[in-house]
Structure 1
Amino acid sequence: MEIPLINKLITTNGFGLRSWDDRYSKGVRVCVAPNSYMLEEVESASDDGDLDMIPSTEFLLSQDWLPFAIGKDFIHALQELENRLNALPVEQIDRASNWSNSVHEVLEHLKEVASSGNNNFKELSNNFEKTWI
């Protein structure tokens, strides 16, 4: 299996990768982010109780440009993530890109919503160049 875009983000751009088994038996989750400490927020959001987990997970999977994926196993999840990344313009697979900045902004929003406990997520744009609707 080849995953050159994930490899580039981690090896060349200092992104972090996190993977875990979904506690609701949906498969294996995998994600990358410009700052690895933010990935703990993603895992925590997907492991919360139903009332918090469902809106958080729907938010993170709502747009194909976000680097979050679920697969039936680890290899499948990595391939799903690679497929999402492959849909982006190649110049965006970089720490200093608009896409990377938008991913960071989305993760900061996830952290804010999680700490507020209100599940009031902003609506994401289907284009990373304009993060919010």
Structure 2
Amino acid sequence: MEALQQLIKKFDWNIQCWDDRYGRGVWAVVAPNPNHTYELREITDGPDIESGVLGDYLIEEGSWLPVVKGKNLTDILMNLNSKVEDLVENEVWRDSVYNAFQHILEKDYENYGLRIALDNNEPPLIRPAHLKK
């Protein structure tokens, strides 16, 4: 869990894990702002449409973000660590993560608003070009 530890200790990021109320598994997110973790949890546990659209985004187009979903805590923490281990020192990635999470929270997308923003290629939501798929 060295990469997660580094994000938390060196860059003052925050981690949160929770069981999805819709039975999709356990989520884990590590983020540069504690509000990001709380708000993402609120949305995934919120109304059906917003929860579904955000959940789909985080697993599909937003798969570059430091969020994972799985069956148990051990697996998701190991998967999250693996997902971020090559990116921890990448300042562009860290800034992009902040911008994407902040954008989602500031826009306060209702209904299918996030889906529409993704279809319109809103820049903060799109994988930075330099990141591998």
Provide the TM-score with structure 1 as the length reference. 0.80
Q: Alpha carbons of 1:71 and 1:118: their partners in 2 closer, same or farther (altered >3 Å)? A: closer
| Structure 1: gaps of 5 or more residues | none
Corresponding residue for residue 75 of structure 2: 76
Give the stretch that moved more between structures: 105-114 or 9-18. 105-114
- CA RMSD, Structure 1 to Structure 2 (Å): 2.0
In structure 1, the residue matched to 2:93 is 99
More strand by share: 1
In the TM superposition, what is the alpha-carbon distance from 1:107 to its structure 2 partner? 0.9
Equivalent residue, structure 2, for 1:66: 65
> What code does the residue aligned with 2:32 have?
P
Spell out the pairing of 1:1-16 with structure 2 (5 A cutoff).
Answer: 3-16=1-14
* Pick aligned residue for 1:119 from 109, 112, 115: 112
Which SS does the other structure have where 1:18 is aligned? strand
TM-score, with structure 2 as normaliser: 0.80
Alignment of 1:38-49 (within 5 A): 38-49=36-47
Distance 1:58 1:42 in 2: 13
User: Mean Cα displacement is larger for which, 44-53 or 55-64?
Assistant: 55-64
What is the distance in 2 between the residues matched to 1:16 and 1:89?
16
In the aligned structure 2, how far is the partner of 1:55 from the partner of 1:8? 30
Relative distance call for 1:89 and 1:104 in structure 2 (3 A) is closer
* 1:18–1:32 contact (8 Å) kept in structure 2: yes
CA pair 36-27 structure 1, distance change in 2 beyond 3 A: same
Cα distance in 2, alignment partners of residues 41 and 22 from structure 1: 14
Number of aligned positions between the proteins = 122
The sequence identity of aligned pairs, in percent, is 27
Q: Does the CA contact (< 8 Å) of 1:32 and 1:68 recur in 2?
A: yes
SS class of match (1:79): helix
